[in-house]
Amino acid sequence: MTTRQSKSNGKRPAKVSKVRFGQGGELHQTSSVSDERLTTNHGVPLSDNQNSLRGGRRGPTLLEDMILREKIQHFDHERIPERIVHARGSGAHGFFELTKSLAKFTRARVLTEVGEKTEVFVRFSTVAGGAGSVDTPRDVRGFAVKFYTKEGNWDLVGNNIPVFFIQDAIKFPDLIHSVKMEADRGYPQSASAHDTFWDFVGLMPESTHMVTWAMSDRTIPRSFRMMEGFGVNTFRLVNSKGEGTFVKFHWKPRLGLQSTCWDEAVKIAGADPDYHRRDLFDAIASGSFPEWEFGVQLFSQQEADALPFDILDATKVVPEELVPIRIVGRLVLDRNPDNFFAETEQAAFLPTNVPPGIDFSEDPLLQGRLFSYQDTQLSRLGTVNFHQIPINRAKGCPFQNLQRDGHMQMQVFKGRANYEPNSLAEAGEIGGPRADPEGGFRSFQLPIEDRKVRLRSESFGDHYSHARLFYRSQSEIEQAHIASAFVFELSKVSLDHVRTRVLSNWRNVDEDLAQRIANGLGIELPAKSKAFVEPKDMEPSAGLRIVGKYPLTLMGRSIAILVTDGADGRIFKALVKQAEAEGATVKIVAPKVGGVMLKGGTKLPADGQLAGMPSVLFDAVALVVSEEGCTELLREGAATDFVAHAFGHLKAIGFTRECQPLLDKANVQPDEGVVNLTDNMDLFFTHARTRLWEREPVVRLLS
Ligand code: HDE
């Protein structure tokens, strides 16, 4: 028996690529790996990476083998604790560009220098599931942006819904415990459809507004690229005179706000658990960069006082109709992370990261967040020095202070002074940095003189008006989806009293909605719960809808072409040409991954095999098949599902004449969106730009 040797010849010199010195004077090593020789973590070259050190060929492994021990030990500790919430996330690099100056309201450079580009790192996430959970549960999405500004990092840690479940940070652990896996059984993973969540919700009327949003299609987004983002909490801008203006932050996707259908989201979870992560990565890799407009709603204290709700209450939305959104910048994501762990996983977002000119409000939810994020990084990243990890480092400016040492200190400081004040500079030594009273961060001079209390302001007491506003602002389609989502979720609740309490609360929101839910569940409507503050009717806000807001475009959408042997290559080519010209992605799906032989003998390789690339992964499908091909497909369940699901999920279906038997088998009923490609390819593309909402009553009994 011969011993297998490592292929490394051991002659090439070990090379550490790209070593540069950071602004703090420390050695900062970028980690691009070269193909030079392997070493241990301490630089000792390896002669063999295949065999551990043994006492004889067949003898026991020796404790002395430091190479084996180092490698295994590093591997044993490869995982760090995942985030307690928002554990499942995907990130990307990009830039923010200011298009309109807010100099009147703030002295933060990032919001005053028009045309200046600021580097950003963005992380999107689900909330409830673990790091390895699927991308498409019904859940709120995180939308966290780290701006590396010239005045320090600004982290705008937002969500894709503008309000939140609770008003006070002290309820956050309860909320999250209720929605995560139930304590005794350890399930469900990443789902709100269970007893404990709805128990909490029913007992906390302040959650009514957010839960109504959560039951809307906002929580089943089509793509991260097609989500709105919100800062949620009210913040303050502070100008050079020290004057404060309240601000709400908004992100508006250039591709419009789009969602999946619930049944589709459920099926995607099986077909591609990484659906959103892949979509983001592929879009950036192909040069189709996701983009958002950045907007602000600005209002003074007087304007805030005139609003019929409290702007410090994060369960309330400020309708665009009351305070318009001014678009002042754009965000473009143009670079994928090189390493998921080092960047996306180790990214630490802190709502406390604000440059001079941006400040907090007294929102009691935000105030709690100001403590939590810094604290959670310690258990997740294990050190107070997590700000030195490359993804978290302030890159736009130097950072320097007299904080020292600690676990995993990366900086090598020079000099004796690690305290301030000191007078070492007078002796020609390094004295160290000092505070800057002019340019440094100054808090808004908020007058406070009051009693210490544990009390909620009465102005936070109206729990239903905004939920009513949201529901009544929706299109009919969206209202039906909301009612159906409630029915689905509450059908999974096993405790009758929990369900009943939820319905009692929602009667305060809208009687029709409560009745629809009760009908869908097949139960009697219970008595209405007593509202602390009687809900008021507000003017519906079109800005709160999804349907009708997105642009009718193929840009960023994806089309599957199902082909078989003998398919018509001309139709295929024409489809691809038009789709790609309009910015859509085309994928070729075939019975076998090796591809098909088109009529005339051209070989066409496939992007995916039918069972592995179902129609749920696409926005529209075209069926370009031959007669024989169709006969084969009739015997394949995945083909029937491909067509039936496309129809059921309200997608445009283009087909060639030969495909009729498959359409019949899949029970596709002719409508405007089922288009013979030979007759009218343009019509297919018209419908591929949106969903055929009018088909929904044909395929689904909605509540
Ligand atoms: Fe978070 N939240 N949160 N949250 N949150 C975290 O911080 C917390 C809240 C949001 O991609 C944690 O670094 C409290 C609102 C996002 O890394 C933790 C309260 C909003 C992310 C934490 C809230 C958010 C987090 C877990 C109530 C929308 C992911 C890991 C007072 C504005 C950021 C971490 C990323 C993450 C605490 C409420 C958004 C535990 C105490 C409201 C997008 O610190």
Q: How confident is the model at residue 2 (pLDDT cuts 50, 70, 90)?
A: very low
DSSP annotation string for 382-411: -STTGGGSGGGS--SS----S----TT---
Cis status of the peptide bond prior to 188, with omega within 30 of 0 = yes
Return the ∠ at Cα 242 (arms to 239 and 245), rounded to 5°. Answer: 60
pLDDT at 25 over 60: no
Band of pLDDT at residue 31, cut at 50, 70 and 90: low
Better pLDDT: 549 or 659: 659
Report the candidate in 475, 481, 470 with the shortest Cα–Cα distance to residue 506.
470
Residue of 391, 383, 376, 385 whose CA lies nearest to 345: 391
- The rounded Å distance from CA 482 to ligand 1 centre is 25
Which of 168, 177, 372 is the pocket-test mutation for ligand 1 (most atoms within 8 Å of CB)?
372
Q: Are 615 and 267 in contact (CB under 8 A)?
A: no
pLDDT reading at 17 higher than 50? no
Query: Could you give the maximum distance between any two Cα atoms of the chain, in Å?
Result: 92
* CATH architecture assignment, domain 74-192+220-392: Beta Barrel (2.40)
Q: Tell me how far apart the alpha carbons of residues 405 and 20 are, in angstroms, rounded to a whole number.
A: 22
Question: Based on the number of CB atoms within 10 Å of its own CB, is 176 exposed (0-12), middle (13-18) or buried (19 or more)?
Answer: middle
Residue with the smallest CA separation from ligand 1 atom 12 is 373
Give strand pairing partners of 331: 96, 292
Give me the residues paired with residue 246 across strands: 236, 299
Q: Tell me the Cα Rg of the chain.
A: 29
User: How far, in Å, CA of 526 to CA of 76, rounded?
Assistant: 54
- Distance between Cα 144 and ligand 1 center (Å): 9
Find all residues with CB under 8 Å of 623, minimum gap 6, and list them. Answer: 561, 562, 643, 653, 654, 655, 656, 659, 662, 663
- The pLDDT, as a whole number, for residue 12 is 43
| Measured distance CA(275)–CA(617) in Å, rounded | 8
Ligand 1 atom 3 nearest Cα: 369
Instruction: Kindly report, residue by residue over 500-509, the tens digit of the pLDDT.
Output: 999 999 999 9
Mutate to test the pocket of ligand 1, among 84, 157, 277 (most ligand atoms within 8 A of CB): 157
Please name the residue whose Cα sits nearest to atom 25 of ligand 1: 86
Nearest atom in ligand 1 to the alpha carbon of residue 124 is 11
DSSP 528-558: PPPPSS--------GGG--TTTS----TT-E
pLDDT at 702: 87
Residue with CA nearest ligand 1 atom 28 = 158
Question: Given strand 585-590, what is the order of strands in its sheet?
Answer: 608-609, 585-590, 558-563, 620-624, 652-655, 674-676
Is the bond into 308 cis (omega within 30 degrees of 0)?
no
Which whole number is the average pLDDT over 471-496?
98
Nearest protein Cα to ligand 1, atom 30: 83
Q: Name the band, by pLDDT with cuts 50, 70 and 90, for residue 396.
A: confident
The chain-wide mean pLDDT, for the chain, equals 94
Q: Are 672 and 686 in contact (CB under 8 A)?
A: no
Residue 157 alpha carbon, nearest atom of ligand 1: 43
Closest Cα to atom 19 of ligand 1 = 369
What digits encode the pLDDT tens for the residues 441-477?
Answer: 999 999 999 999 999 999 999 999 999 999 999 999 9
CB-based burial label for 524 (10 Å; 0-12, 13-18, 19+): exposed
Q: Is residue 5 pLDDT above 60, yes or no?
A: no
pLDDT tier for residue 621 given thresholds of 50, 70 and 90: very high
Q: Which atom of ligand 1 is nearest to the CA of 230?
A: 32
Give residue 34 CA to ligand 1 midpoint distance, Å: 37
**CA of residue 366 to ligand 1 center, whole Å:** 10
Atom of ligand 1 nearest to the CA of 159: 28
pLDDT band at 1 (very low <50, low <70, confident <90, very high): very low
Q: How many CB atoms are located within 10 Å of the residue 660 CB? A: 15
Give the separation between CA 357 and CA 398, rounded to whole angstroms: 19
The minimum-distance atom of ligand 1 relative to the CA of 347 is: 17
Please give the model's pTM, rounded to 2 decimal places: 0.94
**Closest of 128, 127, 97 to residue 113, by C-alpha:** 97
Q: What does the domain layout of the chain look like in residue ranges?
A: 74-192+220-392, 558-699
Give the pLDDT confidence score for residue 666 in this predicted structure.
Answer: 98
Nearest CA to ligand 1 atom 23: 369
Between the CA of 376 and the centroid of ligand 1 the distance, in Å, is 10
Q: Cβ(510)–Cβ(479) under 8 Å?
A: no
pLDDT band at 311 (very low <50, low <70, confident <90, very high): very high
Distance (Å) from CA 191 to ligand 1 centroid: 18
Q: Per-residue confidence at 32, pLDDT binned at 50, 70, 90?
A: low
The reported pLDDT for the residue numbered 24 is 38
Residue 71 CA to residue 46 CA, distance in Å, equals 12
Nearest-angstrom CA–CA distance, 173 and 177: 6
Give me the percent of the chain exceeding a pLDDT of 70: 95
Of 286, 289, 280, 285, the C-alpha closest to 221 is 280
What CA–CA distance (Å, rounded) separates 609 from 593? 5
Minimum CA distance residue for ligand 1 atom 41 = 369
Question: Whose C-alpha lies nearest to ligand 1, atom 31?
Answer: 169
Which ligand 1 atom sits nearest the alpha carbon of residue 173?
Answer: 41
Nearest to 528 by CA among 499, 545, 558, 506: 506
Of residues 557 and 18, the one with the higher pLDDT is 557
Cα-to-centroid distance, 170 and ligand 1 (Å): 13
The reported pLDDT for the residue numbered 124 is: 99
Of 155, 164, 369, the one to substitute when testing ligand 1's pocket (max ligand atoms within 8 A of C-beta) is 369
Per-position DSSP letters for 259-293, written without gaps between them: B--HHHHHHHHHH-TTHHHHHHHHHHHTT---EEE
Binned at pLDDT 50, 70 and 90, residue 548 comes out as confident
Residue 167, token pair as written in the block: 């008003």
End-to-end CA distance of the chain: 71
Distance of CA 224 from the midpoint of ligand 1 (Å): 18
In tens, the pLDDT along 665-690 reads 999 999 999 999 999 999 999 999 99
pLDDT in tens, 590-613: 999 999 999 999 999 999 999 999
Nearest CA to ligand 1 atom 27: 169
**Average pLDDT, stretch 558-570?**
98
The predicted pLDDT at position 30 comes to 54
Give residue for tokens 């002042």: 328
Among 82, 83, 249, residue to substitute to test ligand 1 (most atoms within 8 Å of Cβ): 83
Per-residue pLDDT of 271-310, as tens digits, reads: 999 999 999 999 999 999 999 999 999 999 999 999 999 9
* Secondary structure in 3-state letters for 118-146: EEEEEEEEECCCCCCCCCCCCCCEEEEEE
Residue 457, C-beta contacts closer than 8 angstroms, at least 6 positions apart = 310, 312, 313
Closest ligand 1 atom to 376 CA: 44
- Residue 567 CA to residue 571 CA, distance in Å, equals 9
Q: What ligand 1 atom has the least distance to the C-alpha of 372?
A: 44
Q: What's the 359 CA to ligand 1 centre distance in angstroms?
A: 18
**3-state per-residue secondary structure call for 593-609:** CCCEECCCCCEECCCEE
Exposed/middle/buried for 592, CB within 10 Å: 0-12, 13-18, 19+?
Answer: exposed
- Tell me how far the alpha carbon of residue 298 lies from the centroid of ligand 1, in angstroms: 24
In 3D space, the residue among 568, 566, 573 whose CA is nearest the CA of residue 632 turns out to be 566
DSSP 240: T
Angle between helices 262-271 and 476-491 (to 10 degrees): 60
Q: 558-699: what fold?
A: Rossmann fold (3.40.50)
Contact 703, 678 (CB under 8 A): no
CA distance 498 to 192: 14
Mutation test residue for ligand 1: of 125, 349, 379, the one with most atoms within 8 Å of CB: 349
What lines the ligand 1 site, CB under 6 Å?
83-86, 89, 123, 125, 142, 144, 157-159, 164, 169, 172, 232-233, 314, 347-349, 365, 368-369, 372-373, 376
Supply the residues annotated as catalytic: 86, 159
Q: Rounded to whole angstroms, what are the CA distances from 390 to 12, 19, 30, 124, 232?
A: 29, 13, 9, 19, 28
At 220-236, the pLDDT tens digits run 999 999 999 999 999 99
Would you say residue 18 has pLDDT above 60?
no
